[in-house]
Chain A
Amino acid sequence: MLFQGLVGLSEAMYLWLVAAGLSLIFGVLRVLNFAHGSLYMLGAYFAWVAFRITGSFWAALLIGPLLVAAVGWGMEYGFLRRVYRVEVAFQLLLTFAFVLIFDDLVKLAFGPVYQSPPTPAALSGAVRIGRSILPTYHLFILAVGAAVGLGLWIFLEKTGFGLIIRATAADREMARALGVRSSRLFTWVFVLGAWLAGLGGALSMPVRAISPGMGEFIIIEAFVVVVLGGLGSLRGAFVGALLIGLLHAYGLVFMPVFELALAYIAMAAVLIVRPWGLFGAREA
């Protein structure tokens, strides 16, 4: 039974990567990026193209997310920065437009058919845990998710740049008054968030069939995670993603008819008790 939870956690890692970027961007830029699922999809497609050209999964894992980061730079520099001062509804409209545009571009470029390159040989083994078998790839995903979590924590807590990000997230006006060039900072935070989503997508490429529209399924769950954990809180996103993964895995076993609703019930419960989320900052 513990094993089922472990599998759920490994599934949660993709969600964590997407939710981390989403939450980071919201925390600093105060923009809810609807297109974050599309960046996950682009990560998978770019990695797939890189895999076809280089023949190496590892090169694809490096190149795919970097290309998504570049797309993120274009999105922020070219579009999003023009709407920071307008109503939230317009920001949502803009990012939603990106969802539709990216989906159609992918369909134009790759066709509506799903693609799925082979799982890298080094990661297609499995380890025996008791009577159960856990794929090496799932262990790898767990390791990557944990490493990214640790890396982000070190980056935000222990580096100067991280300090500026935290300061801006906490009080944008004060940070600006102290000389933080927030426009450049916003760009880099968005690029980092996009890279995280791209990494999630690239990691999913060899084990999940990739197709246009694949981002729409993950973005809804990522929103649930971010609301559950607290908007703008990375720790919240991490815990939220793990919680959703566990609820899903155990829900399937203990209440399969009800499993779909569990994540939303958890979200509703948290919103009633702590409207600012598990780890979110309470609005003044």
Chain B
Amino acid sequence: MAPRRGISRRNFLQSSLALAGASALGAPDALGAPDLKLKKPIKVGCQCILSGPLGGYGEFMRKGATLAMEEINAAGGIGGSPIELNFRDEELKPDVGVKNARYFVQDWGADFLIGIDSSGVALAVGEIMPTLNRVLIVTHGATEKYNEDLVYKKHIRQCFRVCVPVYQDGIASALVAKDLPVKRWATISPDYEYGHTSWKMFRAYLKQNKPDVEFVGESFAKFGTVDFSSHISKVMALNPEGIFSTEWGGEAVTMIKQAKLFKVFEQTKAFMIGMGSAMDVLQGLGPDYPDGVWASGRYYFGYPDTPENKRFNDSFKKRWDTYPSYPSETSYTALNALKKAVEKARTLDTDKVIEALEGLELSRPAGPCVIRKEDHQAVYAVPWGQITHDKKYPMPTLTNLKIFKTEEYYRKPPFAPVEG
């Protein structure tokens, strides 16, 4: 193609863009945000855990949301209005979460709420969303009760979630475990909603797939456990062949280090940890992370091999000098989903945005995704894999990825009770 023609083509594009802007038609345009004449700025309140041994999670969520905000604002914002973000520490306490949500909406004037790390906080905040009447997009809290009970059974329509629920920790894990040479399983998991519900699902779905498995012991550690030695020795005294764990954050780091000291990895055939591929755990353990541990997350930076994921990884690394963890991807996706929904609805009206979000298809870094209409749950696949140490990366990574079809492990309406 002759250079002259190329130039004239670019001129044409520029002038048509200017025209579209000048006429303020606001038609959705791939080249720039339409001006929907919405309030400026659009305020989004994000709460996450920003203190204590799990505070690394909130930090990664903050980074993902901030990157999304910067990118969206640089490209003209949501329908011409820039996003303004505000962060608060949820402290993993339901009452604090509710207080934060009320503050965001009633005092600060939030148009949307995102975030939440704890399942307990997600349920508590979800319950008050009808009175606050704002869209809430949960980006980490993973209890199935959020989508199955709050949205599907109680019809709280304001609640959405863009991260995979405990189906990843409790059901996809069972699909991995059924092919492992392990019959005797035990768990060391957190003593709250998330830990109990994951272990219950894992047992129920593994038993379905492999009837001769046994569950020989469990030790549940309270939030804020700084030493897992007694839990490890209690469980190891029962001679398990495999350990299933849903510890996360700094507690996962401590548990794995101590399990290593107790030679758990030599004495068992498999070790599975649901949120073990979170970046803070990979970085926190570094060379201490034993090879072969089965780990997953709600997004893994190395999957899938798509341009969207590569672009997200590159800009995240450029902005923050670290690889993204899963709460980074989910909070990034939450803001991009809001942008897409608001520009589709052409208003900030909660009902209209809810309608736009229902069934919305997204091409997110974690892969193609659809937000189910029935339970407002984003459906996308996340791999399980085994820890390895690859010199190409400054932290441990996953190998031998197992990717299941979402139909295989996402529970579906009408959500029959989990047996077991």
B224 touches A217 (CB 8 A): yes
CB–CB B59/A111 < 8 A = yes
Residues of chain B contacted by A7 (CB below 8 angstroms): 229-230, 232-233
Do B261 and A119 touch (CB < 8 A)? yes
Pick the contact of B56 from A14, A112, A135 — CB < 8 Å?
A: A112
B236 and A116 contacting across the interface, CB-CB below 8 Å:
no
Tell me if B237 and A4 are in contact (CB < 8 A). yes
A133 proximal to B (CB < 8 A): yes
Interface size for A (C-beta < 8 A) is 44
Would you call B59 and A212 a contact (CB within 8 A)? Answer: no
Q: Which residues of chain B come closer than 8 Å to A209, judged between CB atoms?
A: 53, 250-251, 253-254, 257, 284
Which residues from B are CB-within-8-Å of A207? 227, 254, 257-258, 261
Q: Which of B50, B219, B233: most chain A CB closer than 10 A?
A: B233
CB within 8 Å of A: which B209-258 residues = 219-220, 222, 224, 226-227, 229-234, 236-237, 249-251, 253-254, 257-258
- Which single member of A126, A137, A214, A252 contacts B226 (CB below 8 Å)? A214
Mark each residue of chain A from 144 to 173: 1 if its CB lies under 8 Å from any CB of chain B, else 0. Answer: 000000000000000000000000000000
Would you give the shortest CB distance from B6 to chain A, in whole angstroms? 47
Residues of B within 8 A of A252 (CB): 219, 230-231, 234
Cross-interface CB contact of A114 among B53, B222, B237, B262, cutoff 8 Å:
B53
B234 x A212 contact (CB < 8 A): no
Is A118 in contact with B226, judged by CB distance below 8 angstroms? no
> Does A182 sit at the interface, judged by CB under 8 A?
no
Q: Is the CB of B231 within 8 A of A114?
A: no
**Number of residues from B at the complex interface, CB < 8 A:** 41
Instruction: Give the chain A neighbours of B232 by CB distance below 8 A.
Output: 7
Known: A3-B237, A112-B56, A113-B280. A11 touches B253 (CB 8 A): no
CB of B51 within 8 Å of the partner chain? yes
Would A119 and B56 be within 8 Å (CB), given that A3-B237, A11-B229, A252-B219 are in contact?
Answer: no
Q: How far is the CB of A225 from chain B (nearest CB, A)?
A: 15
One digit per residue, 1 when the CB lies within 8 angstroms of any chain B CB and 0 when it does not, for chain A 86-113 equals 0000000000000000010001000111
In whole angstroms, what is the CA distance A4 to B59 when docked? 37
Q: Who on chain A is nearest to B55 by CB? A: A112
Q: List 20 A-B contacts (CB under 8 A).
A: A3-B237, A4-B233, A11-B227, A114-B284, A118-B286, A124-B260, A126-B261, A126-B263, A135-B262, A207-B227, A207-B257, A207-B261, A208-B254, A209-B53, A209-B257, A211-B56, A214-B53, A248-B230, A249-B233, A256-B220
10 smallest A-B Cβ distances: which pairs? A135-B261, A112-B55, A114-B250, A209-B250, A209-B253, A213-B52, A113-B56, A249-B230, A7-B233, A211-B53
Residues of A within 8 A of B (CB): 3-4, 7-8, 10-11, 14, 103, 107, 111-116, 118-119, 124, 126, 132-138, 204, 206-209, 211-214, 216-218, 248-249, 252-253, 256, 260
